[in-house]
Amino acid sequence: MAAFQFPIDIRESDIDHMGHVNNNVYLKWVQDAVVRYWETRAPADAVARHLWVALKHEITYRKPTFLDDIVVADVVAEKVKGARAYFTTVVMRGEDVLAEIKSCWCCLDATSHRPARLARSVVDRFLTR
């Protein structure tokens, strides 16, 4: 399964008092990357009918990230079970792994905001391409 590459824009406001990207910024990056993955891989009608909310993030920080770094997040959807989807996101600077994030997300119906299972045809497109 090929990873979806999401370029990350590092802003001055992302930098903390120690001179590197603050840990809480990684959560925004993961959310932006996973949502963009969904918007890119899923059919347009499925994107319009569904929203995603994060249920859990487990982040392992490997190396600090700095303002001038060129960084990309590689996103892989590992599996979909019911209304939940499991992702692995790896934040990279060249060949260096900066952070690894395992996350679990709940798919919601965009109108009712209740958990929604995706059709098998959507899951198949969503997981592989």
Whether the per-residue pLDDT at 8 is higher than 90: the answer is yes
Q: Which residues contact 108 (CB under 8 A, 6 or more apart)?
A: 50, 51, 52, 53, 83, 114, 115, 116
Q: Name the domain count of the chain.
A: 1
Strand 50-61 relative to strand 4-8, pairing: unpaired
Q: Mean pLDDT across the stretch 106-118?
A: 97
Structure confidence at residue 124 (pLDDT): 87
Note the pLDDT tens digit of each residue in 23-52.
999 999 999 999 999 999 999 999 999 999
Residue 87: phi and psi, rounded to 5, are -125, 150
CB 59 within 8 A of CB 101: yes
CB 113 within 8 A of CB 51: yes
Structure confidence at residue 6 (pLDDT): 97
Whether the per-residue pLDDT at 128 is higher than 80: the answer is no
pTM, whole model, 2 decimals?
A: 0.92
Within 10 angstroms of residue 116's Cβ, the number of other Cβ atoms is 19
CATH number at residue 111: 3.10.129.10
Structure confidence at residue 1 (pLDDT): 55
Structure confidence at residue 69 (pLDDT): 97
Whether the per-residue pLDDT at 104 is higher than 90: the answer is yes
> What is the domain extent for residue 61?
4-127
Note the pLDDT tens digit of each residue in 55-96.
999 999 999 999 999 999 999 999 999 999 999 999 999 999
